[in-house]
Structure 1
Amino acid sequence: MPIARLTSRALVRVSGPDARPFLHNLLTQDVETLKPGDLRFGALLSPPGRLLFDLFLWGEADGVTLDVAAGRRDALIQRLTLYRLRAKVNVAADERPVFASWPGVAAGFTVDPRLSELGGRALGDQPADADEDDWHDHRLRVGAPDPDADGGSDRAYPIEANFDLLNGVDFRKGCFVGQETTSRMKRRGEIKKRMLPIAFHGPPPPPGAEVLNGELRAGEVLTGRNGAAIALMRLDRLEGALTVDGRPVQARRPEWMSR
Protein backbone atom coordinates (compact mmCIF):
# COMPACT_ATOMS: atom_id res chain seq x y z
CA MET A 1 0.00 0.00 0.00
CA PRO A 2 1.65 3.29 -1.08
CA ILE A 3 2.41 5.96 1.51
CA ALA A 4 3.40 9.49 0.51
CA ARG A 5 4.39 12.61 2.37
CA LEU A 6 2.11 15.48 1.36
CA THR A 7 4.58 18.34 1.18
CA SER A 8 1.79 20.61 -0.08
CA ARG A 9 0.12 20.43 3.36
CA ALA A 10 1.13 21.99 6.68
CA LEU A 11 -0.28 22.16 10.20
CA VAL A 12 -1.61 24.82 12.55
CA ARG A 13 -2.15 24.03 16.21
CA VAL A 14 -5.05 25.75 18.00
CA SER A 15 -4.92 25.08 21.74
CA GLY A 16 -6.23 26.49 24.98
CA PRO A 17 -9.46 26.30 26.98
CA ASP A 18 -11.53 28.06 24.27
CA ALA A 19 -10.04 26.23 21.27
CA ARG A 20 -13.09 24.14 20.38
CA PRO A 21 -15.83 26.78 20.81
CA PHE A 22 -13.59 29.32 19.05
CA LEU A 23 -13.22 27.11 15.95
CA HIS A 24 -16.78 25.80 16.16
CA ASN A 25 -18.13 29.31 15.58
CA LEU A 26 -15.86 29.85 12.56
CA LEU A 27 -15.61 26.59 10.59
CA THR A 28 -18.13 24.64 8.52
CA GLN A 29 -17.57 21.54 10.64
CA ASP A 30 -18.74 20.62 14.16
CA VAL A 31 -15.72 21.11 16.40
CA GLU A 32 -17.44 20.94 19.79
CA THR A 33 -17.90 17.15 19.49
CA LEU A 34 -14.45 16.52 17.98
CA LYS A 35 -12.73 14.02 20.27
CA PRO A 36 -9.00 13.31 20.57
CA GLY A 37 -8.05 11.10 17.64
CA ASP A 38 -11.04 12.13 15.51
CA LEU A 39 -10.45 13.48 12.00
CA ARG A 40 -12.97 15.64 10.14
CA PHE A 41 -13.01 17.68 6.94
CA GLY A 42 -14.17 21.29 6.77
CA ALA A 43 -13.37 24.83 5.70
CA LEU A 44 -13.06 28.43 6.74
CA LEU A 45 -15.14 30.63 4.44
CA SER A 46 -15.28 34.33 3.72
CA PRO A 47 -18.33 36.16 5.12
CA PRO A 48 -19.99 36.04 1.64
CA GLY A 49 -19.54 32.25 1.72
CA ARG A 50 -16.62 31.60 -0.63
CA LEU A 51 -13.83 29.17 0.18
CA LEU A 52 -10.79 30.60 1.92
CA PHE A 53 -9.17 27.48 3.39
CA ASP A 54 -9.98 23.79 3.00
CA LEU A 55 -9.05 22.03 6.23
CA PHE A 56 -8.69 18.69 7.95
CA LEU A 57 -9.41 18.90 11.68
CA TRP A 58 -7.52 16.57 14.02
CA GLY A 59 -8.88 16.30 17.55
CA GLU A 60 -6.19 16.64 20.24
CA ALA A 61 -6.42 16.40 24.02
CA ASP A 62 -5.81 20.13 24.48
CA GLY A 63 -7.17 21.53 21.23
CA VAL A 64 -7.34 20.98 17.47
CA THR A 65 -4.69 20.62 14.78
CA LEU A 66 -5.63 22.03 11.37
CA ASP A 67 -4.20 20.51 8.18
CA VAL A 68 -4.09 23.29 5.55
CA ALA A 69 -2.36 24.00 2.24
CA ALA A 70 1.29 24.74 3.07
CA GLY A 71 1.35 27.94 1.04
CA ARG A 72 -1.70 29.20 2.94
CA ARG A 73 -0.61 28.38 6.49
CA ASP A 74 0.64 31.87 7.38
CA ALA A 75 -2.56 33.39 6.00
CA LEU A 76 -4.65 31.01 8.11
CA ILE A 77 -2.69 31.87 11.26
CA GLN A 78 -3.19 35.57 10.52
CA ARG A 79 -6.92 35.11 9.91
CA LEU A 80 -7.45 33.09 13.10
CA THR A 81 -5.46 35.64 15.09
CA LEU A 82 -7.76 38.40 13.83
CA TYR A 83 -10.81 36.41 14.90
CA ARG A 84 -9.34 35.50 18.29
CA LEU A 85 -10.25 38.73 20.15
CA ARG A 86 -10.64 37.71 23.82
CA ALA A 87 -10.81 33.96 23.29
CA LYS A 88 -8.34 31.99 25.37
CA VAL A 89 -6.58 30.26 22.50
CA ASN A 90 -3.07 29.94 21.16
CA VAL A 91 -2.51 29.69 17.40
CA ALA A 92 0.87 28.43 16.21
CA ALA A 93 2.55 26.52 13.41
CA ASP A 94 3.05 22.77 13.96
CA GLU A 95 5.99 21.33 12.03
CA ARG A 96 4.92 17.69 11.92
CA PRO A 97 4.62 16.31 8.37
CA VAL A 98 1.38 15.05 6.80
CA PHE A 99 1.12 11.64 5.08
CA ALA A 100 -1.47 9.81 2.99
CA SER A 101 -1.93 6.09 2.33
CA TRP A 102 -4.12 4.62 -0.40
CA PRO A 103 -6.25 2.93 -1.57
CA GLY A 104 -6.63 1.55 1.95
CA VAL A 105 -5.77 2.77 5.44
CA ALA A 106 -2.26 1.80 6.55
CA ALA A 107 -1.48 0.92 10.16
CA GLY A 108 -1.42 4.04 12.29
CA PHE A 109 -3.45 6.04 9.77
CA THR A 110 -6.98 7.43 10.10
CA VAL A 111 -9.54 6.98 7.33
CA ASP A 112 -9.96 10.04 5.12
CA PRO A 113 -13.21 11.66 6.32
CA ARG A 114 -14.23 12.63 2.79
CA LEU A 115 -14.33 9.18 1.19
CA SER A 116 -13.02 5.78 2.22
CA GLU A 117 -11.74 5.37 -1.36
CA LEU A 118 -9.22 8.13 -0.66
CA GLY A 119 -7.45 5.95 1.92
CA GLY A 120 -6.02 7.37 5.13
CA ARG A 121 -4.08 10.27 6.59
CA ALA A 122 -1.52 10.51 9.38
CA LEU A 123 0.63 13.10 11.14
CA GLY A 124 4.25 12.58 12.08
CA ASP A 125 7.02 10.59 10.41
CA GLN A 126 5.96 7.56 8.38
CA PRO A 127 7.87 5.13 6.11
CA ALA A 128 6.98 6.73 2.76
CA ASP A 129 7.53 4.75 -0.45
CA ALA A 130 5.66 6.99 -2.94
CA ASP A 131 5.53 10.68 -3.78
CA GLU A 132 2.75 13.23 -3.74
CA ASP A 133 2.22 13.03 -7.50
CA ASP A 134 1.21 9.39 -7.05
CA TRP A 135 -1.35 10.47 -4.44
CA HIS A 136 -2.86 13.09 -6.73
CA ASP A 137 -3.08 10.55 -9.56
CA HIS A 138 -5.16 8.38 -7.24
CA ARG A 139 -7.30 11.33 -6.12
CA LEU A 140 -8.10 12.21 -9.72
CA ARG A 141 -9.09 8.61 -10.44
CA VAL A 142 -11.50 8.78 -7.51
CA GLY A 143 -12.74 12.13 -8.84
CA ALA A 144 -12.38 14.07 -5.59
CA PRO A 145 -11.42 17.74 -5.91
CA ASP A 146 -8.73 19.36 -3.80
CA PRO A 147 -9.74 23.04 -3.87
CA ASP A 148 -6.27 24.38 -3.16
CA ALA A 149 -4.31 21.96 -5.36
CA ASP A 150 -6.85 22.28 -8.17
CA GLY A 151 -7.02 26.05 -8.07
CA GLY A 152 -10.03 28.30 -7.98
CA SER A 153 -10.54 27.90 -4.23
CA ASP A 154 -10.75 31.65 -3.68
CA ARG A 155 -13.61 31.93 -6.18
CA ALA A 156 -15.59 28.76 -5.51
CA TYR A 157 -18.36 28.18 -3.02
CA PRO A 158 -17.90 25.08 -0.83
CA ILE A 159 -20.86 23.32 -2.43
CA GLU A 160 -19.34 23.89 -5.89
CA ALA A 161 -16.28 22.06 -4.52
CA ASN A 162 -18.60 19.23 -3.31
CA PHE A 163 -18.06 19.88 0.40
CA ASP A 164 -21.69 18.96 1.01
CA LEU A 165 -21.07 15.53 -0.54
CA LEU A 166 -17.66 14.99 1.07
CA ASN A 167 -18.66 15.52 4.72
CA GLY A 168 -17.20 19.01 4.74
CA VAL A 169 -20.24 20.95 6.00
CA ASP A 170 -22.34 20.19 9.07
CA PHE A 171 -25.69 21.80 8.26
CA ARG A 172 -27.03 21.00 11.76
CA LYS A 173 -24.41 22.79 13.82
CA GLY A 174 -25.74 26.32 13.49
CA CYS A 175 -23.78 29.44 12.66
CA PHE A 176 -20.36 29.62 11.06
CA VAL A 177 -18.70 32.23 8.87
CA GLY A 178 -20.44 32.19 5.47
CA GLN A 179 -23.24 29.94 6.79
CA GLU A 180 -26.14 31.94 5.34
CA THR A 181 -25.03 31.62 1.70
CA THR A 182 -23.98 27.98 2.08
CA SER A 183 -27.26 26.90 3.70
CA ARG A 184 -29.34 28.83 1.18
CA MET A 185 -27.60 27.18 -1.79
CA LYS A 186 -28.18 23.74 -0.30
CA ARG A 187 -31.74 24.38 0.84
CA ARG A 188 -32.94 25.96 -2.39
CA GLY A 189 -30.97 23.69 -4.69
CA GLU A 190 -29.20 26.68 -6.25
CA ILE A 191 -26.26 24.54 -7.35
CA LYS A 192 -25.41 25.43 -10.93
CA LYS A 193 -21.76 24.32 -10.99
CA ARG A 194 -19.65 21.60 -9.40
CA MET A 195 -16.04 20.47 -9.59
CA LEU A 196 -16.06 17.27 -11.67
CA PRO A 197 -13.38 15.01 -13.16
CA ILE A 198 -12.84 15.17 -16.90
CA ALA A 199 -10.98 12.66 -19.07
CA PHE A 200 -9.11 13.20 -22.34
CA HIS A 201 -6.13 11.91 -24.30
CA GLY A 202 -2.71 13.43 -23.84
CA PRO A 203 -1.40 16.23 -21.62
CA PRO A 204 -3.79 18.35 -19.58
CA PRO A 205 -5.19 21.61 -20.91
CA PRO A 206 -3.81 24.71 -19.20
CA PRO A 207 -5.61 25.97 -16.09
CA GLY A 208 -8.39 28.32 -17.09
CA ALA A 209 -9.01 26.64 -20.45
CA GLU A 210 -12.68 26.69 -21.42
CA VAL A 211 -14.72 23.51 -21.68
CA LEU A 212 -17.18 23.99 -24.52
CA ASN A 213 -20.45 22.22 -25.28
CA GLY A 214 -20.70 23.03 -28.94
CA GLU A 215 -20.23 26.80 -28.90
CA LEU A 216 -21.51 27.24 -25.34
CA ARG A 217 -19.20 27.60 -22.36
CA ALA A 218 -19.69 24.54 -20.14
CA GLY A 219 -16.87 24.88 -17.65
CA GLU A 220 -13.29 25.77 -16.82
CA VAL A 221 -10.30 23.46 -16.37
CA LEU A 222 -8.72 23.89 -12.95
CA THR A 223 -5.74 21.52 -12.98
CA GLY A 224 -4.82 18.06 -14.12
CA ARG A 225 -2.37 15.47 -15.34
CA ASN A 226 -2.04 13.33 -18.43
CA GLY A 227 -5.49 12.01 -19.23
CA ALA A 228 -7.38 13.48 -16.25
CA ALA A 229 -8.23 16.81 -14.68
CA ILE A 230 -10.71 18.57 -12.43
CA ALA A 231 -12.96 21.20 -14.00
CA LEU A 232 -15.61 23.51 -12.60
CA MET A 233 -18.56 22.43 -14.76
CA ARG A 234 -22.04 23.81 -15.41
CA LEU A 235 -24.43 21.01 -14.50
CA ASP A 236 -26.91 21.96 -17.23
CA ARG A 237 -24.30 21.58 -20.00
CA LEU A 238 -22.78 18.16 -19.30
CA GLU A 239 -24.68 16.33 -22.03
CA GLY A 240 -23.39 16.50 -25.59
CA ALA A 241 -20.00 16.79 -27.24
CA LEU A 242 -17.55 18.52 -24.89
CA THR A 243 -14.24 19.92 -26.08
CA VAL A 244 -11.26 21.83 -24.69
CA ASP A 245 -8.97 23.59 -27.16
CA GLY A 246 -10.56 21.52 -29.89
CA ARG A 247 -9.91 18.20 -28.14
CA PRO A 248 -12.80 15.97 -27.05
CA VAL A 249 -13.22 15.51 -23.30
CA GLN A 250 -15.62 13.50 -21.17
CA ALA A 251 -17.04 14.80 -17.90
CA ARG A 252 -18.29 12.31 -15.36
CA ARG A 253 -20.14 12.26 -12.08
CA PRO A 254 -18.24 9.88 -9.78
CA GLU A 255 -20.33 7.10 -8.25
CA TRP A 256 -19.90 8.57 -4.76
CA MET A 257 -21.80 11.72 -5.82
CA SER A 258 -25.07 9.77 -6.02
CA ARG A 259 -24.79 7.90 -2.71
Structure 2
Amino acid sequence: MACARLSDRRVISISGPDRVAFLQGLVSNDVATCDARTMIWAALLTPKGRYRADFFLSARDDRLLLDIDETRADATLTQLKRYSLRAKIEISLLQGQVFAGWDAPPPSGACADPRLPQAGWRKIILDGADTLQCDHDLSDYAARCLALGLPPSSIYQIDETLLLEANFDLLHGISWTKGCYVGQEVTARMHYRGGVKKRLVPVKTSQACLPAPGTILMLDDGQEAGEIRLVFGQSGFALLRKPFWRRSFRHNGVDIIPSPPAWFPIDDSDI
Protein backbone atom coordinates (compact mmCIF):
# COMPACT_ATOMS: atom_id res chain seq x y z
CA MET A 1 0.00 0.00 0.00
CA ALA A 2 1.42 3.38 -1.05
CA CYS A 3 1.12 5.80 1.86
CA ALA A 4 2.57 9.18 2.84
CA ARG A 5 2.31 11.28 6.00
CA LEU A 6 1.29 14.79 5.03
CA SER A 7 3.42 16.77 7.46
CA ASP A 8 2.18 20.08 6.03
CA ARG A 9 -1.40 19.53 7.23
CA ARG A 10 -3.12 20.48 10.51
CA VAL A 11 -6.41 19.39 12.09
CA ILE A 12 -9.15 21.73 13.34
CA SER A 13 -12.05 20.35 15.37
CA ILE A 14 -15.58 21.80 15.53
CA SER A 15 -17.85 20.21 18.12
CA GLY A 16 -21.15 21.07 19.72
CA PRO A 17 -24.84 20.73 18.71
CA ASP A 18 -24.72 23.57 16.15
CA ARG A 19 -21.58 22.38 14.35
CA VAL A 20 -23.24 21.27 11.10
CA ALA A 21 -25.58 24.26 10.77
CA PHE A 22 -22.75 26.65 11.63
CA LEU A 23 -20.35 25.36 8.99
CA GLN A 24 -23.10 24.80 6.42
CA GLY A 25 -23.62 28.56 6.17
CA LEU A 26 -19.93 29.25 5.63
CA VAL A 27 -18.40 26.76 3.19
CA SER A 28 -18.88 25.87 -0.47
CA ASN A 29 -19.88 22.22 -0.07
CA ASP A 30 -22.66 20.32 1.69
CA VAL A 31 -21.57 19.65 5.27
CA ALA A 32 -24.66 17.51 5.91
CA THR A 33 -23.26 14.76 3.65
CA CYS A 34 -20.25 14.15 5.93
CA ASP A 35 -20.21 11.02 8.01
CA ALA A 36 -17.67 8.49 9.26
CA ARG A 37 -17.11 7.18 5.72
CA THR A 38 -17.73 10.26 3.59
CA MET A 39 -15.38 13.22 3.29
CA ILE A 40 -15.95 16.44 1.35
CA TRP A 41 -13.59 19.05 -0.05
CA ALA A 42 -14.73 22.62 0.54
CA ALA A 43 -13.60 26.22 0.58
CA LEU A 44 -14.14 29.16 2.90
CA LEU A 45 -14.68 32.41 0.96
CA THR A 46 -14.88 36.14 1.47
CA PRO A 47 -18.29 37.80 1.01
CA LYS A 48 -17.08 38.75 -2.50
CA GLY A 49 -16.56 35.09 -3.38
CA ARG A 50 -12.75 35.09 -3.11
CA TYR A 51 -10.76 32.24 -1.61
CA ARG A 52 -9.69 32.29 2.04
CA ALA A 53 -8.95 28.60 2.71
CA ASP A 54 -9.76 25.09 1.56
CA PHE A 55 -9.88 21.85 3.52
CA PHE A 56 -11.10 18.27 3.64
CA LEU A 57 -13.99 17.86 6.05
CA SER A 58 -15.00 14.62 7.76
CA ALA A 59 -17.15 13.62 10.74
CA ARG A 60 -15.98 11.66 13.73
CA ASP A 61 -18.21 10.92 16.71
CA ASP A 62 -19.63 14.27 17.84
CA ARG A 63 -17.33 16.59 15.93
CA LEU A 64 -16.27 17.72 12.48
CA LEU A 65 -12.59 17.53 11.57
CA LEU A 66 -10.95 19.91 9.10
CA ASP A 67 -7.79 18.63 7.40
CA ILE A 68 -6.15 21.90 6.34
CA ASP A 69 -2.82 23.22 5.01
CA GLU A 70 -0.63 24.42 7.87
CA THR A 71 -0.22 27.87 6.31
CA ARG A 72 -4.00 28.39 6.39
CA ALA A 73 -4.74 26.85 9.80
CA ASP A 74 -4.27 29.76 12.21
CA ALA A 75 -6.10 32.33 10.08
CA THR A 76 -8.97 29.90 9.47
CA LEU A 77 -9.24 29.12 13.16
CA THR A 78 -9.47 32.85 13.91
CA GLN A 79 -12.04 33.45 11.19
CA LEU A 80 -14.24 30.56 12.29
CA LYS A 81 -14.23 31.83 15.88
CA ARG A 82 -15.16 35.30 14.62
CA TYR A 83 -18.17 33.87 12.78
CA SER A 84 -19.30 31.66 15.68
CA LEU A 85 -21.11 34.39 17.68
CA ARG A 86 -23.79 32.61 19.76
CA ALA A 87 -23.54 29.24 18.02
CA LYS A 88 -23.29 26.31 20.42
CA ILE A 89 -19.92 25.07 19.20
CA GLU A 90 -16.33 24.68 20.30
CA ILE A 91 -13.46 25.23 17.85
CA SER A 92 -9.91 24.08 18.53
CA LEU A 93 -6.66 23.07 16.86
CA LEU A 94 -5.90 19.41 17.57
CA GLN A 95 -2.68 17.43 17.72
CA GLY A 96 -2.98 14.94 14.91
CA GLN A 97 -1.46 13.54 11.75
CA VAL A 98 -2.87 13.37 8.23
CA PHE A 99 -2.05 10.48 5.89
CA ALA A 100 -2.81 9.89 2.22
CA GLY A 101 -2.60 6.63 0.30
CA TRP A 102 -3.23 5.20 -3.13
CA ASP A 103 -3.05 2.07 -5.30
CA ALA A 104 -4.68 -0.09 -2.61
CA PRO A 105 -7.94 -0.30 -0.64
CA PRO A 106 -8.10 2.24 2.22
CA PRO A 107 -7.37 1.17 5.80
CA SER A 108 -10.01 1.26 8.52
CA GLY A 109 -11.08 4.79 9.38
CA ALA A 110 -9.93 6.31 6.08
CA CYS A 111 -12.16 8.17 3.60
CA ALA A 112 -11.92 8.36 -0.16
CA ASP A 113 -10.45 11.62 -1.46
CA PRO A 114 -13.60 13.31 -2.82
CA ARG A 115 -11.86 15.11 -5.68
CA LEU A 116 -10.99 12.11 -7.87
CA PRO A 117 -11.19 8.31 -7.51
CA GLN A 118 -7.53 8.12 -8.59
CA ALA A 119 -6.54 10.43 -5.71
CA GLY A 120 -6.89 7.54 -3.26
CA TRP A 121 -7.77 8.06 0.39
CA ARG A 122 -7.01 10.27 3.39
CA LYS A 123 -6.97 9.48 7.09
CA ILE A 124 -6.62 11.60 10.23
CA ILE A 125 -4.96 10.00 13.25
CA LEU A 126 -5.32 12.03 16.43
CA ASP A 127 -2.64 12.29 19.08
CA GLY A 128 -2.15 9.12 21.09
CA ALA A 129 -3.55 6.77 18.47
CA ASP A 130 -1.55 4.26 16.43
CA THR A 131 0.24 5.63 13.39
CA LEU A 132 0.55 4.25 9.85
CA GLN A 133 3.72 2.89 8.31
CA CYS A 134 4.55 4.89 5.18
CA ASP A 135 6.79 4.03 2.24
CA HIS A 136 6.45 7.45 0.55
CA ASP A 137 7.06 11.04 1.63
CA LEU A 138 5.44 14.41 1.09
CA SER A 139 7.36 15.06 -2.15
CA ASP A 140 6.12 11.75 -3.59
CA TYR A 141 2.55 12.74 -2.80
CA ALA A 142 3.03 16.19 -4.34
CA ALA A 143 4.38 14.62 -7.54
CA ARG A 144 1.43 12.24 -7.71
CA CYS A 145 -1.04 15.11 -7.27
CA LEU A 146 0.71 17.06 -10.03
CA ALA A 147 0.36 14.07 -12.37
CA LEU A 148 -3.39 14.03 -11.59
CA GLY A 149 -3.76 17.79 -12.08
CA LEU A 150 -4.41 18.42 -8.38
CA PRO A 151 -2.52 21.48 -7.06
CA PRO A 152 -1.58 22.14 -3.42
CA SER A 153 -3.48 24.71 -1.36
CA SER A 154 -0.56 27.13 -1.66
CA ILE A 155 -1.46 27.79 -5.31
CA TYR A 156 -4.75 29.49 -4.39
CA GLN A 157 -4.29 33.21 -3.75
CA ILE A 158 -5.99 34.49 -0.61
CA ASP A 159 -8.63 37.17 -1.27
CA GLU A 160 -8.15 36.78 -5.05
CA THR A 161 -8.80 33.26 -6.37
CA LEU A 162 -12.30 32.42 -7.62
CA LEU A 163 -13.44 28.83 -7.10
CA LEU A 164 -14.38 28.10 -10.71
CA GLU A 165 -11.04 29.42 -11.95
CA ALA A 166 -9.43 26.98 -9.48
CA ASN A 167 -11.54 24.04 -10.80
CA PHE A 168 -13.47 23.45 -7.58
CA ASP A 169 -16.55 22.85 -9.71
CA LEU A 170 -14.79 20.11 -11.70
CA LEU A 171 -13.36 18.45 -8.58
CA HIS A 172 -16.53 18.21 -6.46
CA GLY A 173 -15.64 21.12 -4.19
CA ILE A 174 -18.96 22.97 -4.62
CA SER A 175 -22.58 22.02 -3.92
CA TRP A 176 -25.09 23.75 -6.16
CA THR A 177 -28.10 22.60 -4.10
CA LYS A 178 -27.18 23.20 -0.44
CA GLY A 179 -28.38 26.80 -0.21
CA CYS A 180 -26.62 30.00 0.76
CA TYR A 181 -23.14 30.37 2.18
CA VAL A 182 -20.65 33.22 2.39
CA GLY A 183 -19.51 34.11 -1.15
CA GLN A 184 -22.15 31.89 -2.79
CA GLU A 185 -23.66 34.60 -4.99
CA VAL A 186 -20.48 35.30 -6.99
CA THR A 187 -19.71 31.59 -7.36
CA ALA A 188 -23.23 30.74 -8.55
CA ARG A 189 -23.34 33.65 -10.97
CA MET A 190 -20.15 32.51 -12.69
CA HIS A 191 -21.53 28.98 -12.93
CA TYR A 192 -24.97 29.75 -14.30
CA ARG A 193 -23.88 32.55 -16.63
CA GLY A 194 -20.87 30.72 -18.03
CA GLY A 195 -18.43 33.35 -16.88
CA VAL A 196 -15.29 31.21 -16.50
CA LYS A 197 -12.67 32.83 -18.71
CA LYS A 198 -9.57 31.47 -16.92
CA ARG A 199 -8.71 28.17 -15.23
CA LEU A 200 -5.76 26.54 -13.53
CA VAL A 201 -4.18 24.11 -15.98
CA PRO A 202 -1.11 21.87 -15.61
CA VAL A 203 1.65 22.98 -17.97
CA LYS A 204 5.06 21.68 -18.97
CA THR A 205 8.01 22.65 -21.12
CA SER A 206 10.82 20.89 -22.96
CA GLN A 207 13.28 23.51 -21.69
CA ALA A 208 15.23 23.23 -18.44
CA CYS A 209 12.54 24.89 -16.33
CA LEU A 210 9.31 26.79 -16.53
CA PRO A 211 9.33 30.55 -15.86
CA ALA A 212 9.13 31.51 -12.19
CA PRO A 213 5.77 31.71 -10.38
CA GLY A 214 4.13 35.07 -10.93
CA THR A 215 5.44 35.38 -14.49
CA ILE A 216 2.85 36.82 -16.88
CA LEU A 217 2.93 34.66 -20.00
CA MET A 218 3.05 36.80 -23.13
CA LEU A 219 3.12 35.85 -26.79
CA ASP A 220 5.37 37.61 -29.28
CA ASP A 221 2.36 39.51 -30.64
CA GLY A 222 1.70 41.00 -27.20
CA GLN A 223 -1.24 38.73 -26.38
CA GLU A 224 -1.46 37.61 -22.74
CA ALA A 225 -1.99 33.88 -22.23
CA GLY A 226 -2.00 33.69 -18.44
CA GLU A 227 0.25 33.51 -15.38
CA ILE A 228 2.54 30.85 -13.96
CA ARG A 229 1.36 29.91 -10.47
CA LEU A 230 3.51 26.93 -9.41
CA VAL A 231 6.69 25.30 -10.76
CA PHE A 232 8.14 21.79 -10.30
CA GLY A 233 11.09 21.98 -12.69
CA GLN A 234 9.71 21.34 -16.18
CA SER A 235 6.12 21.01 -14.92
CA GLY A 236 3.75 23.18 -12.96
CA PHE A 237 0.45 25.04 -13.03
CA ALA A 238 -0.63 28.20 -14.81
CA LEU A 239 -3.82 30.24 -14.68
CA LEU A 240 -4.58 30.31 -18.42
CA ARG A 241 -7.09 32.22 -20.46
CA LYS A 242 -9.63 29.99 -22.18
CA PRO A 243 -8.08 30.10 -25.71
CA PHE A 244 -4.88 28.60 -24.27
CA TRP A 245 -6.26 25.71 -22.21
CA ARG A 246 -5.14 23.30 -24.95
CA ARG A 247 -3.02 25.50 -27.19
CA SER A 248 0.77 25.43 -26.87
CA PHE A 249 2.56 28.76 -27.17
CA ARG A 250 5.95 30.40 -26.69
CA HIS A 251 6.89 32.89 -23.98
CA ASN A 252 10.31 34.58 -24.23
CA GLY A 253 11.69 31.61 -26.15
CA VAL A 254 10.21 29.01 -23.77
CA ASP A 255 7.63 26.57 -25.12
CA ILE A 256 4.62 26.37 -22.77
CA ILE A 257 2.59 23.19 -23.30
CA PRO A 258 -0.79 22.96 -21.52
CA SER A 259 -1.56 19.44 -20.26
CA PRO A 260 -5.23 19.34 -19.22
CA PRO A 261 -5.89 16.23 -17.08
CA ALA A 262 -8.36 13.51 -18.03
CA TRP A 263 -11.09 15.02 -15.83
CA PHE A 264 -10.87 18.39 -17.64
CA PRO A 265 -13.81 18.49 -20.11
CA ILE A 266 -12.90 17.89 -23.74
CA ASP A 267 -15.47 20.36 -25.05
CA ASP A 268 -14.66 23.82 -23.71
CA SER A 269 -18.26 24.88 -24.28
CA ASP A 270 -19.25 22.55 -21.42
CA ILE A 271 -17.36 24.71 -18.93
Give the TM-score category using the shorter length. Answer: over 0.9
* CA distance, structure 1, for counterparts of residue 66 and residue 52 of structure 2: 14
Determine the structure 2 residue equivalent to 1:149.
154
d(CA) in 1 for partners of 2:246, 2:261: 15
Q: What is the Cα deviation at residue 28 of structure 1?
A: 0.7
Contact 1:41–1:168 (CA under 8 A) maintained in structure 2:
yes
State the secondary structure of the residue aligned to 2:240: strand
Residue 121 of structure 1: CA displacement?
0.8
Mapped contact 2:244–2:258 kept (Cα < 8 A)? no
Q: Specify the SS of the correspondent of 2:264.
A: helix
- The two structures, once aligned, show a CA RMSD in angstroms of 1.7
- Distance, in Å, in 1 between the alignment partners of 2:37 and 2:122 is 12
User: Normalized against structure 2, the TM-score is what?
Assistant: 0.90
More moved, 41-50 vs 2-11 = 2-11
Q: How far did residue 129 of structure 1 move?
A: 1.5
SS in 1 for 2:75: helix
> Partner of 2:121 in structure 1?
120
Distance 1:17 1:247 in 2: 56
Q: What amino acid is the match of 1:94?
A: L
Does the C-alpha gap of structure 1 residues 21 and 151 become closer, same or farther in structure 2, counting only changes over 3 Å? Answer: closer
- Check conservation: 2:213, 2:230, Cα contact below 8 A: yes
How far apart are residue 241 of structure 1 and its match?
Answer: 4.3
Query: Aligned AA for 2:40?
Result: R
* Pairing 1:219–2:220 present: no
The AA in structure 2 aligned to 1:135 is Y
Matched with 1:90 is 90
Write out per-residue CA displacement over residues 154-176 of structure 1, whole angstroms, 9 at most, x where no aligned residue. Answer: 42101111000111000100000
- Structure 2 letter corresponding to 1:208: G
User: How far is the alpha carbon of 1:255 from its aligned partner?
Assistant: 1.4
Contact 1:199-1:250 within 8 A present in 2 as well:
yes
Alignment equivalent of 1:189, drawn from 194, 200, 205:
194
Q: Residue 239 of structure 2 corresponds to which residue in structure 1?
A: 232
Helix, strand or coil for the counterpart of 1:230? strand
Q: Could you tell which deviates more after superposition, 12-21 or 235-244?
A: 235-244
Which deviations, in whole Å up to 9, do the C-alpha atoms of 1:123-171 show, x marking residues without a partner? 112111111111111111111233x232434421011110001110001
Cα distance in 2, alignment partners of residues 253 and 174 from structure 1:
31
Flag structure 1 segments of 5+ consecutive residues without an equivalent: none
Q: 1:117 to 1:17 in 2, by over 3 A?
A: same
Secondary structure (helix, strand or coil) at the match of 2:32 reads: coil
What is the CA-CA distance between 1:254 and the residue it aligns to?
A: 1.4
Q: TM-score, normalised by structure 1?
A: 0.94
Q: How many residues align?
A: 258
Decide which moves more: 164-173 or 247-256.
247-256
Are 2:166 and 1:161 equivalent residues in the alignment? yes
Alpha-carbon distance between aligned partners in 1 of 2:218 and 2:104, rounded to the nearest angstrom: 36
Describe how 1:67-86 pairs up with structure 2 within 5 A. 67-86=67-86
What secondary structure sits across from 1:149 in the alignment?
helix
Q: Does residue 255 in structure 1 map to residue 255 in structure 2?
A: no
Contact 1:219 1:231 in 2 (8 A): yes
With over 3 angstroms needed to count, the CA separation of the structure-2 counterparts of 1:98 and 1:245, relative to structure 1, is: farther
CA distance in 2, matches of 1:120, 1:198: 25
- Please name the residue that 1:203 is paired with: 209
Deviation at 1:7, TM superposition (A): 1.4
1:22 is the counterpart of 2:33: no
Structure 1 residues 239 and 22, CA gap change in structure 2 (3 angstroms) = closer
